[in-house]
Structure 1
């Protein structure tokens, strides 16, 4: 009888996961002029604390391996200092999109690698690869656009939602197994299970809607921090130009295209005034945006 009750609870949880995702899909709310999907109820099936612990463990392991290989750049490195200074300006504006960000243990590190990539794990653990800085010749505004984009994925809990849905699929296959017992407090092995999902953080592919959210929410927080949102448009044009010569990893997990650029352009009427305010002027009086390379 006890096992039967557990099975019923498992099937109910699985149904709830699917139902929550279905009910949330397609509904948008508008915040600061930006339409976003409400945070999915499905994500609640992955405890935030355990997810952040898994992310912290993976991040620490990744940085430890980089240090052993001599590719983790020290805090004194000029580019590390630049990244951390930009993050310090952006982070105070993150709670407006997720109040839990006030409790995150933010970290910013730079790995010496040709990879054109960056990421932000749940809990505010940010990683950049030198390739994205050198190959794209990013200005501070463009670095802020990248950083804001990656932070926005964490703020909007895109990883947590996807993992919750993947967990639901696993429940269907393993109903009555050790994982489900763990969910109901019988088996403490749930932490290890969530940690296994942690391995997917960096390579996780997001949908176009999630990328749109990350673009706009990221530019919102970077604009409030005093970085020009027009850099986001230039950034994606730079990446598209580079990708024509050699496919880059960042675009393999971030669908690109003119549609995203047009969406950013359509929101400049909201974003530019935020940036202009930090400069003590108006959007109409802002000078043209200047990058440091010629774009074709």
Structure 2
């Protein structure tokens, strides 16, 4: 690749970064290219599609429990997120999972309730998922993908005539970008959402130490053979280590609420 091409790519990417620079709730610099309104529309559409294809739980008690935990988390969000019409659905599905989408949608699968064994463990998951929305991770992931694809496309067009060797090189660059940029960003997002969720659950009156037990339960429930550097999520051990490192302040917040008899009592 010529020095001229490198200069052009560098100028283009730096210009994009300067125009679209944003800051996450933890102070991390982000590349955000998409209007949040567009991500919200996509989130609402995705949630509507999911509701049409996956039935809601028929358990009134379980649904009320999930709604109560979500409501406590929502109540401690910053104004721009708290003052929204959040929709919460408990889906009748054995997946051990939950999600929150731009557009103020929260989905929990009934399978998660077998692993998140109490209200605080469920709050750790919901807080984490809402943390993704607060930190605009969906926008950042789309933006990173767009910027990466644009750089590779420009490089391909400016690097000479088509050939099998050229195609192989750029295919390799695409794989390298996936492993070196996009996957690590996803792990950063997961770790950041863990920290945000830990703060939210403590402020909402849930015991933050239960977040560690949640991941212990997750580890017992199943493990992945994919190496962490090729995974979009940190390993269970990494998550528990990072949560422990961030535990001091949330524990103090929870202890203060407990002494004032203001902790959560969802179930």
TM-score by length of 2: 0.71
Given candidates 46, 49, 69, the residue that maps to 1:61 is 49
**For residue 178 of structure 1, what is the aligned residue in structure 2?**
none
Given candidates 101, 108, 115, the residue that maps to 1:128 is 108
Q: Structure 1 residues 266, 15: closer, same or farther in 2, change over 3 A? A: closer
Q: Structure 1 residues 232, 93: closer, same or farther in 2, change over 3 A? A: same
d(CA) in 2 for partners of 1:205 and 1:150?
18
8 A contact 2:97–2:111 mirrored in 1: yes
Alignment of 1:95-114 (within 5 A): 95=78, 99-114=79-94
d(CA) in 2 for partners of 1:88 and 1:64?
24
d(CA) in 1 for partners of 2:15 and 2:97?
35
Indicate yes or no: 2:76 matched with 1:93: yes
Aligned-pair CA distance for 1:18: 4.5
d(CA) in 1 for partners of 2:221 and 2:95?
12
Indicate yes or no: 2:202 matched with 1:219: no
Aligned-pair CA distance for 1:58: 1.0
Q: Structure 1 residues 173, 267: closer, same or farther in 2, change over 3 A? A: closer
> Which blocks of at least 5 consecutive residues in structure 2 are unaligned?
1-9, 155-182, 226-230, 262-267
**For residue 193 of structure 1, what is the aligned residue in structure 2?**
none
Aligned-pair CA distance for 1:20: 6.6
**For residue 79 of structure 1, what is the aligned residue in structure 2?**
62
Q: Structure 1 residues 73, 160: closer, same or farther in 2, change over 3 A? A: same
8 A contact 1:215–1:264 mirrored in 2: yes
8 A contact 2:116–2:214 mirrored in 1: no
d(CA) in 1 for partners of 2:237 and 2:148?
34
Aligned-pair CA distance for 1:103: 4.8
d(CA) in 2 for partners of 1:39 and 1:124?
23
Q: Find the residue that maps to 2:217 and give its secondary structure.
A: helix
Q: Structure 1 residues 39, 106: closer, same or farther in 2, change over 3 A? A: farther
Given candidates 10, 28, 32, the residue that maps to 1:38 is 28
Q: Find the residue that maps to 1:126 and give its secondary structure.
A: strand
d(CA) in 1 for partners of 2:85 and 2:148?
31
Give aligned pairs, total: 220
d(CA) in 2 for partners of 1:103 and 1:174?
41
d(CA) in 2 for partners of 1:12 and 1:101?
36
Aligned-pair CA distance for 1:132: 1.1
Indicate yes or no: 2:127 matched with 1:148: yes
d(CA) in 1 for partners of 2:14 and 2:127?
34
Q: Structure 1 residues 78, 16: closer, same or farther in 2, change over 3 A? A: farther
**For residue 16 of structure 2, what is the aligned residue in structure 1?**
17
Aligned-pair CA distance for 1:80: 1.1
1:242-296 Cα shifts (integer Å, max 9, x gaps)? 114x88xxxx7532232321222222221111111222269xxxxxxxxxxxxxx
Q: CA RMSD in A?
A: 3.1
Q: Find the residue that maps to 2:259 and give its secondary structure.
A: coil
**For residue 117 of structure 1, what is the aligned residue in structure 2?**
97
Indicate yes or no: 2:254 matched with 1:266: no
Q: Find the residue that maps to 2:89 and give its secondary structure.
A: strand
TM-score by length of 1: 0.65
Aligned-pair CA distance for 1:174: 7.3
1:94-129 Cα shifts (integer Å, max 9, x gaps)? 21xxx5314543111111111111111113211111
